[in-house]
Structure 1
Amino acid sequence: MDHTVHNKLVSFIWSIADDCLRDVYVRGKYRDVILPMVVLRRLDALLEPTKEAVLEELAFQRDEAGFTEWDDKGFTDVTGYVFYNTSEWTLQRLHNTTTNSQQLLLANFEDYLSGFSFNVKEIIEKFNLKSQIRHMAGKDVLYDVLGKFTSPDINLTPFEKFDSNGKKLPALTNLGMGYVFEELIRKFNEENNEEAGEHFTPREVIDLMTHIIFDPIKNNLPPVMTIYDPACGSGGMLTESQNFIVDPDGEIKAVNSDVYLFGKEINDETYAICKSDMMIKGNNPENIRVGSTLSTDEFAGQYFDFMLSNPPYGKSWASEQKYIKDGKEVIDSRFKIRLKNYWGVEEDADATPRSSDGQLLFLMEMVNKMKPLSKNNLGSRIASVHNGSSLFTGDAGGGESNIRRHIIENDWLEAIVQLPNNLFYNTGITTYIWILSNNKAANRKGKVQLIDAGQMYRKLRKNLGNKNCELAPEHITDIVKNYTELAAVERTTEDSIASKVFDNADFGYYKVTIERPKRLKAQFTAERIADLRFDKSLKGVMQQVYANYAKKVYEDLRAYKKEILDWAEKEGFDLNKKQEETLLKKETWTKQLAILETATILLNKLGNQKYNDFNIFKTEVDDVLKKEKIKLSATEKNQILNTVSWYDETAEKVIKTTVKLSGEKLDQLLYQLDCAVEDLPNYGYYPTAKKGEFVTYETDSDLRDTENVPLKENIYEYFLKEVQPHVAEAWINLEATKIGYEISFNKYFYQHKALRSLEEVTADILALEKQSDGLIHEILNF
């Protein structure tokens, strides 16, 4: 590959924008013309040698065969490509025969574009090229732009040519054209920094990813390989991976291997760039699909050898939830997983992250496309770029944590590499490369390697958006070497690498719920029960309405609807439709009045005695209700009890239930909890004076706490050591125990820097004394 030739081509094409488009487009819009015109010229050049043969095939199909719809295969057999053009025009002929009229040129140009096969027409449509050539024709620059692209001094064809001075211009291979096209994309992305990171991953990052993915198995590559990127952008990762493997100047040089590229992209223009790049390089453009990867499983049932991606992070997928979940139920099989609970029983688990960030869904998409291991294949390898939230966001049992758990417990995670900040064009945040494989080497099984390369970079002379540094080749070499050797390395200098190797279980933890008993005092008073007149959720506004309308609230407030709602809005009560209806309904007021009247009866019967034992108080309330033949729903009864009771640490514990535990029942419970009888109070079962009888207590949600216990530790032993000495009456709620996974680079790689000693600080201060006229010496009293 002759880099000098390619660089000259890029410079020539780059100059077209300044020569022809400067006064017609703003600088950030040059790419809207240049990129599609490069694609068009290349496709046109590939079709030029067979133009006459295609016109003969057209005449045959139209006149002799009498086809009303063209037979695509007839044309593609003639061209030797998966695309064709049935118009009489080529770009050279358009330029040579239309010299005076921009409008005539425009008409002929549109006729030329209409002659392309459907797959090229789709690219033209996504590029919005027809609109661009109309705009250029209207500004009288279309002819000049066309002249530049068909100039004898530029060779975008796969054939040798001679320039205007008779000098030979070498042919441009499909691979070479790909490099030219990618370099143009890179330069335009640098010019348009605010969008660059969305469609373009720095080349050195892709270089690192390809080395990590392919180097470990470079001597055992299959003869036919498939590579997939579910967020392929302009196709950089796909084409760089292909070049890495089969390019004669690439790293591996497996030139006899067949590599098939697959991808999906949601942005129309970027999709057009990627698809045209596939055409230019001789890849199958039909393997590149447009649309949302999350909404539609475009490659359902397909598996891929290698997957590399830089999916969008921090981007909402709320609009796509309806395709993935129906309520809480996951309906897309790509995101369905089963995990074992604390007791070892498999259950369906949520594997969807927060709706505000869908990056881990792309990782799950790739996991879903891993090839099952067999004698015929070596499984799959994945490299995916993420920000830090994928490492630790989400609580135990939540979507993000479950995804991490699913990947780690299946032993697919090989390593995570932390990259330097400010490495990408549109963000300065820290990023990480996740490396997954379902065919780990023997020495990696059950292990995860964390590599901190955050300090390995060299500064750029000029910032490119947020990007102010890059990975140098020696950095990539060091990272890959460390990864390959699975080496644990301590950081020796500030800009060196650090690496640690962990067991899979090191990242897991039990989220254990620690309960404490509810202790309540209770007392009926007129002041306490007065609030029962109002629904708790609407207490404030109902109090005001009652003060204004008194007994009218028990008639029909809908007659005062506008007046009340206008007043409520003016007073700052933000009511939704349902709350408005509840407020105005007669039934709401009469229901609350009935509850208040019941509480008044209880007050009259029980008096205002203060109870230190809520259990006794509740029993006496039940006795009164029974004697008075008053029936309350559980909700209504709890509303009264909650209104007249409050927490007090000196009160008696509130009993939830009394159970008989003996014989087989007791044995089952002890087996389930894996404990002895004397340990039962630590799990919430307290023995009474009666043999075999135990009580459980109501829990106080305000006092509830959780503890994260490492998977390698015993929950009960942790409880005895870390919890019980501080809260003697607490117990473990094993039923609520969840398993979570998180990965914290700061926890494992943080290096404490000791503060300077007082003597050092004092010496520095005194050193300034010579510049301070003795003031510091006087202040410090030396």
Structure 2
Amino acid sequence: MNQQALSSFIWSVADLLRGDYKQADYGKVILPFTVLRRLDCVLEPTRAAVLAEFKVREGMGIDPTPFLKRQSGLSFFNTSDIDMKRLINDQDNIAQNLHFYIQGFSKEVRDIFERFEFAAQVDRLAKAGLLYMVTEKFIRINLNPSEVDSHQMGLVFEELIRRFSELSNETAGEHFTPREVISLMVHLLFVEDDEVLSKPGVIRTIYDPTAGTGGMLSVADEYLVEHNPNARLVMHGQELNDESYAICKSDMLIKGQDVTKIAPGNTLSEDGHLNAKFDYMLSNPPFGVEWKKVEGVVRKEHEQQGFNGRFGPGLPRVSDGSLLFLMHLVSKMRPAVDGGSRFAIVLNGSPLFTGGAGSGESEIRRYVLENDLVEAIVALPTDMFYNTGIATYVWVLTNRKPSNRKGQVQLIDGSSFWQKMRKSLGSKRKMMSDADINEITKLFGECVEAHLATVFDPKGKELTRQVVRSGEAEPAVPEGGNMKLVPLSRILPNQAFGYRAITVERPLRDEAGKIVLGERGKAKGKPQPDSTLRDTENVPLVDEVENYFEREVLPHAPNAWIDHEKTRVGYEIPFNRHFYVFEPPRPLEEIDAELKQVTDRIRAMIGELSA
């Protein structure tokens, strides 16, 4: 049974629940039962050995946990003498036996079902007379890893969560990220480290502070194992949503990961991995979500700990906490002398430019750029996420830039690399193919400037698209055709994103038009500023303030001056500006000729009607 068929079969349990359950509550039954059946199948081969070991150790007065884990070959086990198949042999006592079965799991697994609030659902199903039918339905599917591997199981979880989110009118994007977006992020994360990661027995740590159902961690693990079966990725994460946390934790259990490294709770207010540092990190924090609930804790850390805490550079506006997650990840970077770190985070357009000089957002951008942490920013196509169609960007940050990248940021416009989906999923209408991901990854890995050349025939039909790297020949254009050349990859110095916000003052005049002079203190004898004529100018860091002022301001306001005490340094990343290509409008003669043709055609049609 393929992944899609398996997901559909599992979701068909909803047919049993209809009437007794609201649609929004289907997932509260289907998700934990799926996890339970998966764990049940995983433990089946070692169940007898675990029970025998348990009976031996039970009366010895010692903790049997390490012995039982060794027998199961996993980081979890079950000490009850029943399984799901035996549950349906005693229909009258199925609820009681199911509770007993759940309590037989090791502590880590019991925590999963507590997060699902599974006991309450079991009692509700029993009261409605549905518990036996639901249990029997799940027994029909074999979720043993020999039949359904971890990758397939991850896809099944993803599909079930998506359906549950749609029915409950939640945003699917709060639970998981599209697989191809994760794949691109993972490629960008590892591409420069292929040589190191290919070594036998290499072990690296990875962390996701907004882990969701664990999709990002799973894809990263799959990538590494595919390229080096002897490599090991030790996964860490934290997740706020209980159901997503439960699924993530169960998936990590099955893969043999230490589930104590998956923490519950709000990453911003209660860091589940305090003082920990990681080799790699991934995150897709919620877009444009306010952080008012944790404002007190975050502000306290910012004010009391400063740069010794996570939020030293500044705080963004309360309406959008995206940059708080970015700063959280920066704080988790392993020191460069110990090998350093690299992380990829998905953000919307707001963190690129929101906030003027001196604002929290600008100060955060200033910190990461002046410390040479930003390696690249990749624009994704719109309509890539399930809950929003807005423009999104992958930021890649590292404190171990190779020498050819130092002092620079690479901008890649990947917004044209997509295919239309056969069927939309919420707001998601586009997807990136493996070829699209590979092309963007190559541009990043090569660290080159490039253009996208689109060739058209004489009738304006697109013939081909080709990535033209700096120094390469452009594609040939057929006779009568043309070519559109747009920037695809830009490499700019960090300073290109900085500016000085200067305050330009103009003199205050009295009713007679005479300039008013100060009468005391520092202002004595000096022209007084007219607040109604006050203006600001953003002077690029690469430009001298006085030269800019003489060139751009004084010709228009000869009496103006700069109030240097109000000058602030700011940073913004006007991504689209660096990829804008001016297209001149068509000649007026051509437009007039086209309008005349249309007008003549309309006159002819009217004449035919009159006749």
Q: Normalising by structure 2, report the TM-score.
A: 0.87
1:759 is aligned, of 589, 605, 609, to 589
Q: Which residue of 2 aligns with 1:508?
A: 498
Query: Retained in 2: the 8 A contact 1:419–1:433?
Result: yes
Distance 1:55 1:382 in 2: 44
Is 1:36 aligned to 2:36, yes or no? no
Q: Quote how far apart the aligned CAs of 1:190 are.
A: 6.6
Give 1:664's aligned residue.
none
Q: Which residue of 2 aligns with 1:670?
A: none
Q: Tell me how far 1:393 sits from its aligned partner.
A: 0.3
For the pair shown, the structure with the greater C-alpha radius of gyration is 1
| Kept after mapping to 1: 8 A contact 2:507/2:515 | no
Q: Does 1:233 align with 2:212?
A: yes
Distance 1:5 1:462, change over 3 A: closer
- Residue 88 of structure 1 aligns to a residue in which SS? coil
Preserved CA contact (<8 Å) 2:515 2:527? no
Q: For residue 307 of structure 1, report the CA deviation from its aligned partner.
A: 0.7
RMSD: 2.8
What SS does structure 1 have at the residue aligned with 2:564?
Answer: strand
1:508, CA displacement in angstroms? Answer: 0.5
**Residues in 2 aligned to 1:473 and 1:487: alpha-carbon distance in whole angstroms:** 21
Structure 1 residue 58: Cα displacement = 5.2
Distance 2:301 2:271 in 1: 20
Which of 75, 78, 81 lines up with 1:82 in the alignment? Answer: 75
Counterpart residue identity of residue 83, structure 1: F
Give the count of matched residue pairs.
574
Deviation by residue 1:571-622 (Cα, 9 ceiling, x = unmatched): xxxxxxxxxxxxxxxxxxxxxxxxxxxxxxxxxxxxxxxxxxxxxxxxxxxx
User: What percent identity do the matched residue pairs reach?
Assistant: 44
Query: Is the Cα–Cα contact under 8 Å of residues 184 and 437 in structure 2 kept in the other structure?
Result: yes
User: Residue 566 of structure 2 aligns to a residue in which SS?
Assistant: strand
SS of the aligned residue for 2:316 comes to coil
Report the equivalent of 1:597.
none
The alpha carbon displacement at 1:191 in A equals 6.6
CA distance, structure 2, for counterparts of residue 735 and residue 60 of structure 1: 79
Partners of 2:74 and 2:254 within 8 A in 1 = no
Q: Is the 8 A contact 1:232 1:265 kept in 2?
A: yes
Q: Retained in 2: the 8 A contact 1:769–1:775?
A: no
List aligned pairs for 1:270-289, cutoff 5 A.
270-289=244-263
- In structure 2, how many angstroms separate the alpha carbons of the residues matched to 1:23 and 1:658? 81
1:653 paired with 2:516, answer: yes
Aligned pairs for 1:60-139 within 5 A: 64-65=59-60, 72-96=65-89, 98-99=90-91, 101=92, 104-139=93-128
Residue equivalent to 1:200: 176
Residue 502 of structure 1 aligns to which amino acid in structure 2? L
State the distance in 2 between where 1:418 and 1:468 align: 17
1:306 to partner: Cα distance? 0.8
1:499 to 473, 489, 502: 489
The CA deviation string for residues 699-735 of structure 1, in whole angstroms up to 9 with x for no partner, is 3333322110000110111111222222222222222
Equivalence for 2:318: 355
Q: Distance in 2 between matches of 1:449 and 1:272?
A: 38
Corresponding residue for residue 568 of structure 2: 738
Pairing partner for 2:277 from 268, 285, 303? 303
Change in Cα spacing, 1:179 to 1:198, as seen in structure 2 (3 Å) is closer
SS of 1:406 mapped into structure 2: helix
Q: 1:653 is matched by which residue type in structure 2?
A: V
Which of 443, 448, 460 is residue 487 of structure 1 equivalent to? 448
* Structure-1 separation of matches of 2:304 and 2:353: 22
Inter-partner Cα distance in structure 2 for 1:461 and 1:5: 19
* Aligned-pair CA distance for 1:759: 1.8
Check whether the contact 1:227–1:304 (CA below 8 A) recurs between aligned residues. Answer: yes
- 1:576-615 aligned at under 5 Å gives the runs none
1:441 counterpart (402, 406, 419): 402
Give the C-alpha shift of residue 772 in structure 1. 2.9
Change (3 A) 1:649 1:721: farther
**2: distance between equivalents of 1:652 and 1:183?**
72
1:728-758 C-alpha deviation (Å, 9 max, x unpaired): 2222222221111111122111223322222
| 1:334-413 matched pairs, under 5 angstroms | 334-337=309-312, 350-374=313-337, 377-413=338-374
Q: Which of the numbers 238, 243, 261 marks the counterpart of 1:264?
A: 238
Deviations 1:626-670 (A, max 9, x none): xxxxxxxxxxxxxxxxxxxxxx472442315456xxxxxxxxxxx
Gaps of 5+ in 2: 455-461, 468-487
SS in 2 for 1:415: strand
Q: Secondary structure at the match of 1:699?
A: coil
Q: CA deviation at 1:454?
A: 1.3
Distance 1:52 1:480 in 2: 48
CA distance in 1, matches of 2:586, 2:60: 91
> How far 1:82 sits from its partner (Å)?
2.6
CA contact (8 A) 1:265 1:291 kept: yes
* 8 Å Cα contact 2:302/2:311 also seen in 1: no
CA contact (8 A) 2:311 2:327 kept: no
Q: Aligned to 2:287, what secondary structure does the other structure show?
A: coil
Residues 414-442 of structure 1, C-alpha deviation per residue, up to 9 Å, x if partnerless? 11111111111100100001111111122
Q: Compared with structure 1, are the counterparts of its residues 255 and 650 closer, same or farther at alpha carbon in structure 2 (3 Å cutoff)?
A: same
Greater CA deviation, 275-284 or 754-763?
754-763
TM-aligned CA deviation for residue 57 of structure 1: 5.4
Cα displacement string for residues 661-690 of structure 1 (whole angstroms, at most 9, x for unaligned residues):
xxxxxxxxxxxxxxxxxxxxxxxx8xxxxx
| 1:526-568 superposed Cα distances (whole Å, 9 cap, x missing partner) | xxxxxxxxxxxxxxxxxxxxxxxxxxxxxxxxxxxxxxxxxxx
Structure 1 residues 351 and 21 mapped into 2: Cα distance closer, same or farther (>3 Å)? same
| Correspondence for 2:540 among 701, 710, 717 | 710
In structure 1, the partner of 2:136 is 147
Q: Secondary structure at the match of 1:220?
A: helix
CA-to-aligned-CA distance 1:491-521 (integer Å, 9 cap, x gap): 323977712111111111011122234445x
- CA drift of 1:51 comes to 4.0
Aligned equivalents of 1:232, 1:462: Cα separation in 2: 27
**CA separation of 1:259/1:10 partners in 2, compared to 1, >3 Å: closer, same or farther?**
same
Q: Work out the CA distance in 2 between the residues paired with 1:236 and 1:727.
A: 58
Measured in 2, the distance between the counterparts of 1:327 and 1:215 equals 35
Letter in 2 for 1:395: G
Is the contact made by 2:302 and 2:309 (CA closer than 8 Å) also made in structure 1?
A: no
1:156 aligned onto 2:143: yes
- Runs (5+) with no aligned partner, structure 1: 159-169, 338-349, 521-647, 660-684, 686-693, 778-782
1: distance between equivalents of 2:442 and 2:353? 27
